[in-house]
Each structure stands twice: as structure tokens, then as C-alpha cells.
């Protein structure tokens, strides 16, 4: 009983830290650092710290087989590089809560992939998930008013959702023969390599670390040096929630874990409303709730697929 409660507490704490990370990341993005560069510093910083941590505990397990390398590369590029940059572009151009709700539609796309690409049977809840998911998205975007959300942000959020679906599918394949922590190290490592090739470190705007970053919204009277939120994003916004979630997953079922994970967009919306004064219309709030119902149904359909 105690282990279960402790595990649930760790997952809730992990979801809360991931949610708060969206708001802190928005502060850095608003200061002028691009989504590409923020993704680079987040991936590289988390990779270096986690590499030292995992290597000290299970260094031998880090060694990959030749057959694994292409899949590990795909996992890092899709699951870490694309997921994170898509998310950062989205939250830079729209409300954090909306970006996260769209990102979390990944289970819906996974179920469609299982049904129409893998040609597997999925339960009737798949169709309910699609109905709820798309109805909720229509309410969030308020299509009857025209395009009410930033077009680039909306595209980035959906691409982020597709990349997150790829992250889950690739991870599902790789985790059979590899532990979650070593898999994450490789994912972050390949993502870091991608950003070194695309955005070389010698042209990184290092002045961001000493630039004053305004805390915006409720705390707009205050500023902090750039290294403070960036360090928070790497450690408290990436490494710590990852470790909390990993520890919690060991003692809970997939259904319980996924339900607790859905706290992230909810908590992010509350924090963004309180801190950044981001507000949604009543229709958008209803839409978000409807999408979350669709996501839960899609996740259930995915687990029941045969």
C-alpha cells in the first residue's frame, strides 16, 4: 500500500514539474532564445548529466548492439529532438495548456496507426476516442470563427503530437531489450548530436546565460539571469521529473500511470493562468475536457488492441 501511494506521489510530482517546465520555458523563449536553441541546451544538458548518472550505475548496459543503433538514432531524433522542438515552437506561439492538450493527442494517432497500418483489431472505444478527440479539438480551435490560433503554433503542436506517437511506438519496441534509463540516455545523446550538426555550438548565443530574463505576468516586476531558468529547465524540468516518473512506473499499472500523466496539461493550464495570466474561453475549456476524455479512451483502446 505504501509503495503504491509513494509511486502515485512520484508520478504526480513528475507531472507537476513537467507542467511547470512549460511555463519556465516560455519565459526563456519570450526573452529571444529560439525554440531550436532551447531544445539544444535542454537535450545536451540533460544528456551529459544523465550519462554520468547512468554510467556510474550501469555502464555496461549502455553498450548498444549494431542492430540497435539505427533504431536508437530514430528514437532520439523523433522522440526527443522533434518532440521537444515542436513543443517549444508551439508554446512560444500559443497558450501552454492548448499546446499540451494537442501534444497529448498522441494516443489517438497511435490507435489509428495500429488499426490501419498494423491492421490489428482495436475495440469500439477507438471510434469513441476519435469522436471525442476531434470534437474537442474543434471546440479548442473554434473553427467556426476562422483560424483563432496561430497557424505555425498549431502546425507545430500537431507535429509534436505525431512525434510523441512515434516516441511511444519506438520506445515500445526498444524497451523490450533495453532499460528505460539507458534508452533515455541514447535518445538524448542522438538528439544532442542532431542539434550539434544543425546548430553548431560555436554559434550558440551564450549571452543568454547572463541576460536578464523577465518573469512576466504575475512576476513581471522581477528578472533573473538567464542561467537560472535554463538550469531549472535542464535539471528540475527534465532530469528530476524523468527520474520521478521512472521510479513511479515500477509500482503502478499502465492505466493508473497514464491517468496520472494526464494531470500535466491540467496543471500546466492552471499555472499558466495564475502566473502568465493565460486565459481560455469557456468553449475552449470544454473542448480541452472533451479532448482529454478522447485521449483516455484512446489509451485504453491501445492497451486492448490485439
Give strand ranges (E) for the chain. Answer: 212-214, 223-225
Distance CA 74, CA 72 (A): 5
Residue 144's pLDDT band, with cuts at 50, 70 and 90, is confident
pLDDT in tens, 29-45: 999 999 999 999 999 99
Cβ distance 163 to 82 under 8 Å? yes
Q: What is the pLDDT of residue 224?
A: 97
**In angstroms, how far is CA 180 from the centroid of its own chain?**
16
pTM, two decimals, is 0.92
pLDDT in tens, 82-101: 999 999 999 999 999 999 99
Q: What percent of the chain has pLDDT over 90?
A: 53
Host H or E run for residue 42: helix 35-58
Cα–Cα separations (whole angstroms), residue 108 to 96, 167, 228, 258, 300: 20, 14, 36, 13, 10
Query: Which among 156, 238, 127 has a CA at the least distance from the CA of 191?
Result: 238
Distance CA 277, CA 126 (A): 35
Q: 305 pLDDT exceeds 60?
A: yes
**In angstroms, how far is CA 134 from the centroid of its own chain?**
20
User: How many domains would you assign to the chain?
Assistant: 1
Cα–Cα separations (whole angstroms), residue 46 to 164, 191, 221, 283: 18, 11, 30, 38
Parent domain of 196: 2-304
Q: 255 pLDDT exceeds 70?
A: no
Out of 22-36, 43-57, 128-142, 192-206, least confident range: 128-142
Cβ distance 79 to 166 under 8 Å? yes
Residue whose C-alpha cell is 513511479: 248
Average pLDDT over residues 273-277: 94
Amino acid at each position: 500500500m505504501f509503495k503504491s501511494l509513494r509511486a502515485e506521489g512520484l508520478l504526480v510530482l513528475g507531472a507537476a514539474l513537467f507542467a511547470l517546465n512549460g511555463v519556465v520555458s516560455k519565459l526563456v523563449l519570450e526573452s529571444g532564445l529560439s525554440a531550436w536553441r532551447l531544445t539544444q541546451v535542454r537535450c545536451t544538458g540533460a544528456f551529459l548529466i544523465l550519462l554520468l548518472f547512468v554510467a556510474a550505475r550501469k555502464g555496461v548496459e549502455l553498450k548498444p548492439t549494431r542492430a540497435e543503433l539505427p533504431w536508437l538514432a530514430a528514437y532520439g531524433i523523433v522522440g526527443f529532438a522533434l518532440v521537444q522542438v515542436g513543443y517549444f515552437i508551439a508554446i512560444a506561439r500559443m497558450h501552454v495548456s492548448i499546446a499540451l492538450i494537442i501534444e497529448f493527442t498522441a494516443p489517438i494517432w497511435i490507435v489509428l496507426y495500429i488499426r490501419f497500418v498494423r491492421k490489428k483489431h482495436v475495440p469500439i472505444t477507438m471510434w469513441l476516442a476519435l469522436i471525442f478527440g476531434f470534437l474537442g479539438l474543434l471546440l479548442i480551435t473554434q473553427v467556426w470563427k476562422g483560424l483563432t490560433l496561430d497557424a505555425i503554433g498549431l502546425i507545430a503542436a500537431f507535429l509534436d503530437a505525431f512525434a510523441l506517437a512515434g516516441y511511444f511506438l519506438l520506445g515500445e519496441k526498444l524497451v523490450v531489450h533495453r532499460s528505460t534509463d539507458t534508452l533515455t540516455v541514447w535518445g538524448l545523446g542522438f538528439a544532442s548530436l542532431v542539434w550539434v550538426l544543425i546548430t553548431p555550438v560555436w554559434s550558440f548565443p551564450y549571452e543568454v546565460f547572463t541576460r536578464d530574463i523577465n518573469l512576466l505576468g504575475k512576476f513581471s516586476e522581477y528578472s533573473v539571469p538567464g542561467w537560472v531558468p535554463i538550469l531549472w529547465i535542464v535539471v528540475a524540468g527534465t532530469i528530476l521529473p524523468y527520474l520521478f516518473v521512472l521510479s513511479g512506473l515500477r509500482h503502478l499499472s499502465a492505466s493508473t500511470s497514464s491517468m496520472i500523466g494526464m494531470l500535466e496539461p491540467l496543471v500546466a493550464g492552471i499555472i499558466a493562468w495564475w502566473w502568465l495570466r493565460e486565459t481560455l474561453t469557456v468553449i475552449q475549456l470544454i473542448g480541452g475536457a472533451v479532448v482529454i476524455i478522447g485521449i483516455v479512451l484512446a489509451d485504453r483502446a491501445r492497451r486492448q488492441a490485439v
